[in-house]
Each structure stands twice: as C-alpha cells, then as structure tokens.
Amino acid sequence: MEIYEMTASETAEGIKAGRFSAVEAARCGLSRIAKFDGEVNACVTVTEEHAIATARRVDGMIARGEDPGPLAGVPYIAKDNFCTKGIRTTCSSRILENWIPTYNASAINFMNGAGAVLIAKSNLDEFAMGSSTENSIIGPTKNPRDLGRVPGGSSGGSAASVAAGYVPLALGSDTGGSVRQPAAFCGIQGMKPSYGEVSRFGIVAYASALDQVSPLARTVGDLAMALNVIARPDPNDTTCDAYDRPDFAASLAMRDLRGKRIGVFAGFEAEQMDAELYGALTKAAALCEAAGATVEPIDLPIAVKYGVATYYVTALADASSKLGCFDGIRYGTHIDGPTLTDMYANTRTASFSEEVRRRIILGTCLLTEGFYQNYYGPALKVRTKMAMEFEELFSRIDAYLLPTSPSMPYPMGTKETDPTRLYLGDIFTVPISLGGLPGINICMGFTPDDLPLSVQLVGPRYGDASLLGIAGVIERVVGRPGAAAPRKLEEVR
C-alpha cells in the first residue's frame, strides 16, 4: 500500500513504528500535489518548506523516543480561510491576496501540537460564500472523481485534496454545508461538529453564529481522530464550549445498531432530488435496519420549508458586518480615492467578487429598518421554531438520516449564474447548521461513472461522539467506499 492510500491513523502508526518517516509522508503528499494539482487546482499555496521542516521535527522526536502526538507526521491541508502564521492566507479573495497572518488559528495550533504536518492551503469559494469552489482568485477547483464537475464548496479544495490522495485529512469550515456538501460531491467523509465543539479562533469569519471548523477524511475513524485533536475548550473563543469532551474515537467500538432509533427524512417529493441520491438514502435506511436499528420515516416540515430562507437571512446579515473590517486601511488590498467614501468603494468594489458583494449588500439591506422587521426578526423566530422541531425530533430518535445535497455533482460552470438555484442546493445542510447540530456526510458508494452517492447523518447537539459511532457502523457495513481512489484521476496523467 502506498503512503497516500493510507488513512490518517495508518499513516501515524507507520511513522511511529518507523516503517516510513514523516518527511517521506510529507514528500508523498507534495508529489501528489505536484502531479495532479495543475489539473485539480485544489491548492492556493503549497507550504513545502514549512512541511519538510515540521516533518523533520516529528522525525527527530521519534528518533529521540518522544511522542509527537496522535497525528504524528500525518500530512494535512487546511482551507485557506484558516490563519496560518507566516503563511499567506487569502480566503481566495483579491482583498487578502498577499496577506500573511501573524498568528495561527487555534485548530491549526492543535493539529500542529498533535504532530500533524501542514503541506498546503486549499481553495474555497471566496470567503466561503458558495457551494462549488468556482468563485476564487486562483480559479475553480475540479472534482477529482470527474474533472468536468465541481467538487462542491465552499471547502471544495480540502475535499478534492483528500479525494485525490494529497492528504488523508483536511480541515474545512462549514457554515451551511460547506464541508458536508463537498465531501458528498468528492465521495469522502466530512463532519460538521456541533456548534461550540471546536474553536473558531483564527477562522476568517463568514457568519459567526454558524461557522464551525470541520474535518474531512476518507474514513469516519479519521474524522473521530481529528475531532479528538481539535475539539477542545479554547480561551480564545468564548463561544467554544468549555465542557470536557469524550473520547470521540472510543465510540467507534460500536459493533451494530441494536437499540438505536434512527429517523429517515420523509418529507420530500422524489422529483426534488436526483434519483440516485434517493436510492442512497433508502439503501442507508435499509442497512441501518439490518444492523439492528429501528427505522422510522419522519418529516421535518419547518426545517426543510424555511431552512434556506432563514439561513440566508441570518448568515448574510452576519456576514455583512463581519466583512466590514476589510476597509483597505490596516491590511489587505488598498485602492485610494479622493474621499474616504471613494477609498472604501474603490477598495471593496475591486477586491470582492460579485457574489461576495451580492451577499454583503443583501445582508446590509436585511438589517436596515423595515427589512429587519420583515426578514431578520421573523428569521430569528423561525430559527427558534426549528430548534423546537429538532428538540422534539431527538427526543424520539438517536440519529436522523437525510440527503446531504439534493443533487449529484454538477458540471462546472452550470449553476453559478442562478444564485437562487445554487442556494436551494443547501436545503438539507442549512437546517442542521441553524440547529447547531452535528452532521456527517457518509459516502455510500459510486455510480458506474464513479460519481459519489452520499447521505447525511445528523445527531442531537453535542451528541457528536455517539453520532460518529453510528456513522462508523454504517461505513463498515457499506464497505468503506470513501477510501476508494478516484478511478479517472490516474488516467489524466
């Protein structure tokens, strides 16, 4: 088995056992990038020098008999909206094109502290606003399983990196599905933890109330391993919960689903989603039942009907204020003008793409008098209603199965002209974000054309550990398809 085919835990074990070095693992990932990324375009910045130096340090520790941590020498890639000290962090935006942070995001510090080796920063839809990773200063990222299709987004670069075998593990941020949906499109596993599980410190915000650091990997076990490293209290983020986390990996000892009650989403008409994905959901439900769970169809009328509208109202309002700091004064692109207002306008018009400007302007409108009463106020009420719906749901069941995306990965350049349709692609992910719930994308297999079929498994707030356990059982019975290498990628070269 090649190093790049290994999971994160196999990689760490191999390095700790001395079968190969951390430097070899890093070089393996870097060579995969060199080989494929000209085509896939998943990486904004490759951090080779930093990666080799870090890997050497890990090898040195192992040589001295020290424990570099659970992710010893595991190469990883972080979405380019994670601040990395001394390494350019662009958010795929012109406004931060040449910005080099002076500090690390907490999640980056936790990964480094566990022995992981950052080898690249990955592409995203500018400021995480999008679902296809097409809207970026470095151009679109392609789906490694079909280079004519989008990888999903906004963490499309991270998902593509894991699918293409650059790294076994990547970090993304999920605001309304930005990790779960690209994981679904690229045929890997991706998890948005409960809101408050992982520190947001150092993530360039899209929407403070919804952003959550989220791992992507080829197995559920690796997701749990990553969560053990990054999910911890952080004094730098007061919205990150201070509670003592359980051992997320321990829940993977779950052998079957006997005694588990699992709900299956029932509130859609078949034409609302691609048939293959309806099949994947049915298959997942059947597997759960076979594994011993009691399965019942459950509707989520409020969450699905009002989720997208509520999400865009709250997220865009949040974003319009969070992106105000990009005024061209302290950092980032600065374009002068005769007056202060001209300077703001010149800088922001030239440096934000149309989609980012659209969202800022929408968010700004939503918070102005009149609009606030008609949109933001009701959105908050609906969010409360949805929270009640979820509370009722998880009083009856342990986990809930629903699609991750209503559609299969679509061809590049086909959807971005119609923002409303694009936004509707988030119908199954945004309610989970609004509820602050944990959600995992599980790859259920592939079509004959190697297009991934995925489902989303959701649990109650802070039920992350048990959710990973159930996902692990489903992954095992379906045969770990997320670990499969993209069939068409090797043919490209």
Partner 1 sequence: MADSPLSSKNSAAAKRPVVIGLEVHIQLNTKTKLFCPCSTDYIGRTPNTNVCPICLAVPGTLPLLNDLAVALGSRMGLGLHCEIQNYSNFHRKNYFYPDLSKAYQITQYGLTIAVGGYIDIEPEGRPKRVRVHHLHLEEDAGKLVHPTADGRLTGAAYSLVDYNRGGVPLSEIVSEPDMSSPAEARDYVIRLRQLARYLDVSDGEMESGSLRVDANISLSNPDGSLGTRVEIKNMNSLKSLERALEYEISRQNKVLDSGGRIVQETRLWDDAEEVTRSMRSKETASDYRYYPEMDLAPIVITDEQIEDFKRAMPELPWEKRERFAREFGLSGEEVAILTEQKELARYYEETIAAGAPPARAANWVRMEVLRVLNETGTSISDFPLGPSVLAELVKKVESKELSSTIAKDILDTLSREDITLDEAVKRSGASAVRLTGCLLDEVVDRICAANPGVVETIKSGRDKKGGKMKFLQGLVMKETRGQADPSEAAGSLSKKLGA
H, E, C per residue of 83-118: CECCECCCCCCHHHCCCCCCCCCHHHHHHHHCCCEE
Extract the tokens encoding 273. 């989603």
Q: Is residue 434 involved in binding partner 1 (CB under 8 A)? A: no
Q: Judged by CB, which is closer to partner 1: 200, or 415?
A: 200
Residue whose C-alpha is closest to residue 398's, from 455, 468, 453, 480: 468
Q: How far is the CB of 221 from partner 1 (least distance, A)?
A: 29
Q: Which of 317, 356, 434, 478 binds partner 1 (CB under 8 A)?
A: 317
Q: Is 344 in the site for partner 1 (CB under 8 A)?
A: yes
C-beta of 200 vs 476, nearer to partner 1: 200
Calculate the alpha carbon distances from 156 to 90, 112, 129, 438 in Å: 15, 22, 12, 20
The single residue among 28, 128, 186, 205 that binds partner 1, judged by CB under 8 A, is: 205
Q: Which two three-digit tokens encode residue 278?
A: 């309806």
| CA–CA separation, 221 and 143 (whole Å) | 23
Beta-strand ranges (E) seen in 117-168 are 117-122
From 59-67, 236-244, 256-264, 384-392, span contacting partner 1 (CB under 8 A): 236-244
Stretch that binds partner 1, among 66-74, 117-125, 156-164, 363-371 (CB under 8 A): 363-371
Residue 326: what are its φ and ψ, rounded to 5°?
-85, 80
Binding window for partner 1 (CB under 8 A); candidates: 77-85, 218-226, 350-358, 414-422: 77-85
Q: Is 239 in the site for partner 1 (CB under 8 A)?
A: yes
Of residues 95 through 114, those in contact with partner 1 by CB under 8 A are 96, 99, 101-103, 105
Asked if 377 touches partner 1 (CB under 8 A), the answer is no
Give one word for 196, left, alpha or beta, with left for phi > 0 and alpha for psi -120 to 50.
left
* Binding residue for partner 1, selected from 369, 448, 491, 493, defined by CB under 8 A: 369
Two tokens, residue 221: 């076990």
Q: Applying CB under 8 A, which of residues 53, 63, 290, 340 lies at the interface with partner 1?
A: 340
- β-partners of residue 169 are 76, 217
Q: Which two tokens stand for residue 55?
A: 């890997």
Which residues from 247-286 bind partner 1, rule CB under 8 A?
none
Binding flag, residue 235, partner 1 (CB under 8 A): yes
Centroid of chain to Cα 302? 25
User: Which residue from 52, 138, 209, 477 is in contact with partner 1, where contact means CB under 8 A?
Assistant: 209
Burial class of 61 by CB neighbour count within 10 A (0 to 12, 13 to 18, 19+): middle
Residue 45, interface with partner 1 (CB under 8 A)? no
The answer to the question of residue 91 lying near partner 1 (CB under 8 A) is yes
Tokens read off for 355? 């989609």
- 346 scored as a contact of partner 1 (CB under 8 A): no
Q: Does the protein bind partner 1 through residue 356 (CB under 8 A)?
A: no
**Does residue number 20 form part of the binding site for partner 1 (CB under 8 A)?**
no
Q: Which is nearer to partner 1, 278 or 344 (CB)?
A: 344
Closer to partner 1 at the Cβ: 225 or 382? 382
User: Whole-angstrom Cα distance, residue 273 to residue 288?
Assistant: 22
Q: Is 214 in the site for partner 1 (CB under 8 A)?
A: no
Residue (of 170, 246, 182, 298) closest to 466 by Cα position:
246
In 3D space, the residue among 196, 155, 205 whose CA is nearest the CA of residue 177 turns out to be 155
Catalytic (active-site) positions: 79, 154, 178
Give the pairing type, strands 294-298 and 439-446.
unpaired
User: In the set 325, 350, 361, 424, which binds partner 1 (CB under 8 A)?
Assistant: 325
Contact in structure between 201 and 106 (CB atoms under 8 Å): yes
204 lies in the binding site for partner 1 (CB under 8 A): yes
Round to whole Å and give the CA distance between 125 and 154: 5
Q: Is 384 in the site for partner 1 (CB under 8 A)?
A: no
Locus of tokens 């931060």 = 96
Q: Which residues bind partner 1 (CB under 8 A)?
A: 81-83, 89, 91, 96, 99, 101-103, 105, 200-205, 207-209, 235-239, 317-318, 320-321, 324-327, 329-331, 340, 344, 364, 367-370, 372
